[in-house]
Structure 1
Amino acid sequence: MSQPRPTRRAVLAAAAGAALAPACAGSAPVARPRVAAIDWAMLETALALGADVVAGAELILYRRLVVEPTVPGDVADLGLRGSLNFEALLRAAPDLILSAPWYGRLEGNLGRIAPVLSLRIDQRGRPPYAAAIEATRVVAARTGLVGEAERVIAETEAALAAAAQRLAPRRGERLFVISVGDPRHFRAFGPDSMHGAVLDRLGLASAWAGNTCYFAQAPVDITALARDPGAGIVIVGPPPPDAARALPRSALWNALPAVRENRVHVLEPVNPFGALPAAARFARLLAEALA
């Protein structure tokens, strides 16, 4: 008895299956590179992307001053950013080291352990928010997480949009964004800082009209806060203990219009030199404080 001839559809299906079989048999999940981060902005970015972060610098201080994204407990601490524990870095066995130009003197030694990707967000003449977006995409490309970059960017945009909506009634309000150094001095964050960029995105304005070095100016005498009597004051990060004790008793501080009129807001810490996660955190904390 003759066998029935196979249909054209069956022949095509069999051919497609044969062509795909070798690829399926030989395919395996691609391992993500193990990442170590020296710079905190790069650490923020890698964690937000979901990269396989195995080591980072100054993690105790990061957890206190940067806060988010959260660093998993199994990430190795490499010690001080400017004086790394290279033995700990060797043990972590990274495939990629994320750094910044500030640590250029370390790159020769770092490069003996793994390839180094050095990126900078804060620099003259370049908006930090746009630079942070670019850095997110570059890190994502190097860690095989290209799609995750667009997720992080979209989430940051959504966080800023939500904060702007909450602050719509205060649109145009001027704010000094500062961190307190001691009872007489502060560091000012100008329009060219990430904090300043976020203010602009929220429809607010930086009251600091003095010079800044891409991101901040320090130290500044506290009397400079009287230059714009109508501006509020936003202190990023609680003041040091000595300043926190002295400011309420300071005649200069209490003479400031913003202090007299209860227009001073203290935020939890935010990395002033951070990337997109820092921008989203600052926007959220500011909206909570003002709204």
Structure 2
Amino acid sequence: MSNKPIHLSRRRLLQYGLGIGVASSLSPSLRAATLPQPRIAALDWTAVELIEGVGLTPYAVSDIPSYRQWVVTPSLPAATLELGLRNEPNLELLAQLRPDIMILPFYSPLPESRLQQFGEVIRYPFTLPGKKILSVARDNLQQLGRHLGREAYAQRSITAWQASMTAARQQLAPWQGKRLLLYSFLSPRQVLVMSPNSLFGEVLAYLGLECAWQGSANMWGSAVIGVEQLYPVETDIAIEFMHGERGATRAVPQSGLWQKMPFMQQHNHYQVEGAWMYGGLHAALRFTEQLLHLSGQWHD
């Protein structure tokens, strides 16, 4: 979703009721409540929280099994349709479903011209030059709310998010300045680690905490590194995100190198369920809530 307005066709406007004089005379929240809910396909996982943030539920989602391991929330209803892999959705199924709207990020390699044959296409950025990821995420939600005539829903989500984050910062004040190492195992020898420029790195900064990994990272603020590269990282607390693949890394905790990790010897290593490192406001809040839960177990 760019900063340029995305125009829906006249047919779509009429379908959603946006061209009806009676509906337009109502307040934004009442007007949205009177409109038929569009069938929206989330072709990327962050799109799910955007849809939920404007008070709707996705009609179809890509790679639901992996979503439930890596993202977890917002939870998906059992009736949600499976679209296949995020980078290779089932185009034949999309052609049959004809969703009203498909939402995906700018970085997705999916051909927009092909998708437009099935329905409206809305793209959104994850990062923008000179802007924080959290700021972009907030803008994405506001823009989607405007596109769908659901500004009030989007604003309520943003207001609630801000209040929760402010409260969390106060609760975590005793831990200000702590260095947190955030990672997930990809294999017994590799981990995905978050940097200060990641979504979760920005969350840590907002909460008065620090991101332990200061090495190189990609445009999304993450890096794939060898497990041994974690050893010299100055860390107060290490948090491992679990994604259901622990069976592949079961031997890691028994390895000599792993047992020598400073955070293992200091008993400052914690495991949590998945939280989407490349998400938006909802993912940021989920991670924050995980920190609040863990803070009762932390020690100097």
After TM superposition, give the deviation of residue 127 of structure 1 in Å: 1.3
**1:221 pairs with 2:193:** no
- In structure 1, list runs of 5 or more residues that go unmatched: 1-21
C-alpha distance in structure 2 between counterparts of 1:136 and 1:264, whole Å: 34
Equivalent residue for 1:177, pick from 182, 200, 217: 182
Report the equivalent of 1:70.
75
User: Which has the greater radius of gyration?
Assistant: 1
Question: Structure 1 residues 53 and 204 mapped into 2: Cα distance closer, same or farther (>3 Å)?
Answer: same
C-alpha distance in structure 2 between counterparts of 1:23 and 1:245, whole Å: 61
- CA offsets per residue over residues 120-159 of structure 1, 9 Å max, x none? 1135543111110011011111222111111111222223
**1:86 pairs with 2:91:** yes
Question: Structure 1 residues 116 and 198 mapped into 2: Cα distance closer, same or farther (>3 Å)?
Answer: same
After TM superposition, give the deviation of residue 52 of structure 1 in Å: 4.8
Report the equivalent of 2:153.
148
Report the equivalent of 1:264.
269
More displaced 10-residue stretch of structure 1: 122-131 or 189-198: 122-131
After TM superposition, give the deviation of residue 216 of structure 1 in Å: 3.9
Equivalent position amino acid for 2:98 in 1: A
Question: Structure 1 residues 138 and 23 mapped into 2: Cα distance closer, same or farther (>3 Å)?
Answer: closer
**1:136 pairs with 2:156:** no
Q: Contact 2:102 / 2:122 at 8 angstroms: preserved in 1?
A: yes
- In structure 2, list runs of 5 or more residues that go unmatched: 1-20
- Flag as ranges the 4+ runs of structure 1 deviating above 4 A: none
More displaced 10-residue stretch of structure 1: 122-131 or 111-120: 122-131
Equivalent residue for 1:161, pick from 162, 166, 190: 166
**1:45 pairs with 2:47:** no
TM-score (norm 2): 0.82
Equivalent residue for 2:278, pick from 251, 273, 279: 273
After TM superposition, give the deviation of residue 91 of structure 1 in Å: 3.4
C-alpha distance in structure 1 between counterparts of 2:203 and 2:283, whole Å: 10
Q: Secondary structure at the match of 1:154?
A: helix
State, as a whole percentage, how many aligned pairs show the same letter: 28
Mapping of residues 13-32 of structure 1, within 5 Å: 29-32=34-37
**1:111 pairs with 2:116:** yes
After TM superposition, give the deviation of residue 225 of structure 1 in Å: 2.1
Structure having the higher helix fraction is 1
C-alpha distance in structure 1 between counterparts of 2:248 and 2:266, whole Å: 20
- CA offsets per residue over residues 154-173 of structure 1, 9 Å max, x none? 22222322332332211110
Q: Contact 1:229 / 1:256 at 8 angstroms: preserved in 2?
A: no
Q: Contact 2:181 / 2:235 at 8 angstroms: preserved in 1?
A: no
Q: Contact 1:189 / 1:196 at 8 angstroms: preserved in 2?
A: yes
Q: Secondary structure at the match of 2:69?
A: helix
Equivalent position amino acid for 1:266 in 2: Q
**1:250 pairs with 2:255:** yes
Question: Structure 1 residues 123 and 252 mapped into 2: Cα distance closer, same or farther (>3 Å)?
Answer: farther
Question: Structure 1 residues 282 and 227 mapped into 2: Cα distance closer, same or farther (>3 Å)?
Answer: same
- CA offsets per residue over residues 22-73 of structure 1, 9 Å max, x none? 959x999332332111011112210232225222211222123211112222
